[in-house]
């Protein structure tokens, strides 16, 4: 791949990109000493228990009551089991200990347990490392580009701002297309951005007003896994400019116009947010060195202004008494916090800021070296054994072995439901899966994309590389059968 298409993303503030996954209570243990959450496959954990503990665990799960959730939390915390670790803030440790101390008779016990939901950021199911979906980057670039067009376009493309199709009509009007195949962003190809060096942490998202006030906070704090500032990812961004005329694109993209619009829009947004937060008494993080890069904003809680088009914003605001009104700006903002309450204003951080930069040959070589070391560290050694043991219990079973295999003449199918699922079936009837369309596209040879994702959504014969983890098979590569 030529370097002009290779890019890196540097995370500047906490980023959370939702994937509809949570850390389940039976799939993690909190280690207060190291301030980490140790996550693992519940089946591996169950197999490592002694027969007596397996019976106790099954009995708790079978109850399916609020009381049993309390029992489950206490049971899990009494165990020890190796997995992959995620850093946790002190506020989370305190919150978890409070939950462990709750009694079935306590008021609001169900409400508190329901609120203790830990949303994961997008991750690779093979190694549990975070990644940034290409769709998130493409969406951020599209928003910035639409804002650049709207600055010079005074027409209105819809009857009423509240029309259900108003946003779509606005985009079509600005980009000059009627049919999806004429959308200029069809020629923008953005890969998933994979980690070079990345870490995650579990923190809180708290909702605060953009003005100085003594009023209590609004909104229940959320528990999110975020990608930490300083993390680096690499991927590709390609604008197929040469096909614009052939595809009859009326508002063709160029790489330069795309990045210039991103720089203009997000620099303006960062300046606006910095001024608003400082006026409200909050401290904006120290600005990163952005030489050679362009600002982007991605993920959850990026702020209503950063994901809408200026001059066409209708942000619904709930007022006192339960009334709703529409404004062209948000009156509150979600910020990352180390605690769910009693926080210090100078410790809160905005979500979603990142820098996109072009790779150099030197960076490519350096990043590749770091990536290999990180990947080695993230895959457990077969010789290692987890510390899954309870006092007076037998030693834990050995760590689950991870092995790669190649299935020739495998049948592959794609189901668009549930975010997209690829299923591969070997000649011997074994099955392997890969969840998430973006991951599936990245794992599949480009020559097979149309057949697997657009046509009949199946391939009768393909060469599939799978990773065996215990009794489970995960698809990690799909290539044409030679």
**pLDDT per position as a tens digit, 312-323:** 877 777 776 667
What HEC string does the chain produce?
A: CCHHHEEEEEECCCECCEEEEECCHHHEEEECCCCEEEECCHHHHHHHCCHHHHHHHHHHHHHCCHHHHHHHHHHHHCCCCCCEEEEECHHHHHHHHHHHHCCCCCCCHHHHHHHCCEEEECECCCCCCECECHHHHHHHHHHHHHHHHHHCCCCCCCCCCCCCCHHHHHHHHHHCCCCHHHCHHHHEEECCEEEEECCEEEEEEEEEECCCCCCCCCCCCEEEEEECCCCEEEEEEEECHHHCCCCCCCCCCCHHHHHHHHHHHHHHHHHHHHHHHHHCCCCCCCCCCCCCEEEEECCCCCCHHHHCCCCCCCEEEECHHHCEEEECCCCEEEEEECCCCCCCHHHCEECCEEEEEECCHHHHHHHHHHHHHHHHHHCCCCCCCCCCCCCCCCCCCCCCCEEEEEEEEEEEEEECHHHCEEEEECCCCCEEEEECHHHHHHHECHHHHHHHHHCCCEEEEEEEEEEEECCEEEEEEEEECC
Grade residue 440 by pLDDT with cuts at 50, 70 and 90. confident
Within this chain, do residues 227 and 137 fall inside the same structural domain, yes or no? yes
Within this chain, do residues 274 and 327 fall inside the same structural domain, yes or no? yes
The more confident residue out of 451 and 321 is: 451
- As a whole-number percent, the residues of the chain with pLDDT over 70 amount to 87
Question: Does residue 368 lie within any of the structural domains?
Answer: no
**pLDDT per position as a tens digit, 151-194:** 877 777 666 666 777 888 888 888 888 888 888 898 899 999 99
Question: Does residue 243 lie within any of the structural domains?
Answer: yes
Average pLDDT over residues 446-459: 86
Residue 299, pLDDT score: 95
Question: Domain range for residue 353?
Answer: 3-14+131-361
Question: Does residue 375 lie within any of the structural domains?
Answer: no
Which residue, 307, 342, 361, sits at the end of a domain? 361
Within this chain, do residues 314 and 435 fall inside the same structural domain, yes or no? no
**pLDDT per position as a tens digit, 103-126:** 877 777 878 887 888 999 999 888
Residue 338, pLDDT score: 92
Within this chain, do residues 330 and 458 fall inside the same structural domain, yes or no? no
Question: Does residue 98 lie within any of the structural domains?
Answer: yes
Question: Does residue 231 lie within any of the structural domains?
Answer: yes
Within this chain, do residues 337 and 444 fall inside the same structural domain, yes or no? no
């Amino acid at each position: 791949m030529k370097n002009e298409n290779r890019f890196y993303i540097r995370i500047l503030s906490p980023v959370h990109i939702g994937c509809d996954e949570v850390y389940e209570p039976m799939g993690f243990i909190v280690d207060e000493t190291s301030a980490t959450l140790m996550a693992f496959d519940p089946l591996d954990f169950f197999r490592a228990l002694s027969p007596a503990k397996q019976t106790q665990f099954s009995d708790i799960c079978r109850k399916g009551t609020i009381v049993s959730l309390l029992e489950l939390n206490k049971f899990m915390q009494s165990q020890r089991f190796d997995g992959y670790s995620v850093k946790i803030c002190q506020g989370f440790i305190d919150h978890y200990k409070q939950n462990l101390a709750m009694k079935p008779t306590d008021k609001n016990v169900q409400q508190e347990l329901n609120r203790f939901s830990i949303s994961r950021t997008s991750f690779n199911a093979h190694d549990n490392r975070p990644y940034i979906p290409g769709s998130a980057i493409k969406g951020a670039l599209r928003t910035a580009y639409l804002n650049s067009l709207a600055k010079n376009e005074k027409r209105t493309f819809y009857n009423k701002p509240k029309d259900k199709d108003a946003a779509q009509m606005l985009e079509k009007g600005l980009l000059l297309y009627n049919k999806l195949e004429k959308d200029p962003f069809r020629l923008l190809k953005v890969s998933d951005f994979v980690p070079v060096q990345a870490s995650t942490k579990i923190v809180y998202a708290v909702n605060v007003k953009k003005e100085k006030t003594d009023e209590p906070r609004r909104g229940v704090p959320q528990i999110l896994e975020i990608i930490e500032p300083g993390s680096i990812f690499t991927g590709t961004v390609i604008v197929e400019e040469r096909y614009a005329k052939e595809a009859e694109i009326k508002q063709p993209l160029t790489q330069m116009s795309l990045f210039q619009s991103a720089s203009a829009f997000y620099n303006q947004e960062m300046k606006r947010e910095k001024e608003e937060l400082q006026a409200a008494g909050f401290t904006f993080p120290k600005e990163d060195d952005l030489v050679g890069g362009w600002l982007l904003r991605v993920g959850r809680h990026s702020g209503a202004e950063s994901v809408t088009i200026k001059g066409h914003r209708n942000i619904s605001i709930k007022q006192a008494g339960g009334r709703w009104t529409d404004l062209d700006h948000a009156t509150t903002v979600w910020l990352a916090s180390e605690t769910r309450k009693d926080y210090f204003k100078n410790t809160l951080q905005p979500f979603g800021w990142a820098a996109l930069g072009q790779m150099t040959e030197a960076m490519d070589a350096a990043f590749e070296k770091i990536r290999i070391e990180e990947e080695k560290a993230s895959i457990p050694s077969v010789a290692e054994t987890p510390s899954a043991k309870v006092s007076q219990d037998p030693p834990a079973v050995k760590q689950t072995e991870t092995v790669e295999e190649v299935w020739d003449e495998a049948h592959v199918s794609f189901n668009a439901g549930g975010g997209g699922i690829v299923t591969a079936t070997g000649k011997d009837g074994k099955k392997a899966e890969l969840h998430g369309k973006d991951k599936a596209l990245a794992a599949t040879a480009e020559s097979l994309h149309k057949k697997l994702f657009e046509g009949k959504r199946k391939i009768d014969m393909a060469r599939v590389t799978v990773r065996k983890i215990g009794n489970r098979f995960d698809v990690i590569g799909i290539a044409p059968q030679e």
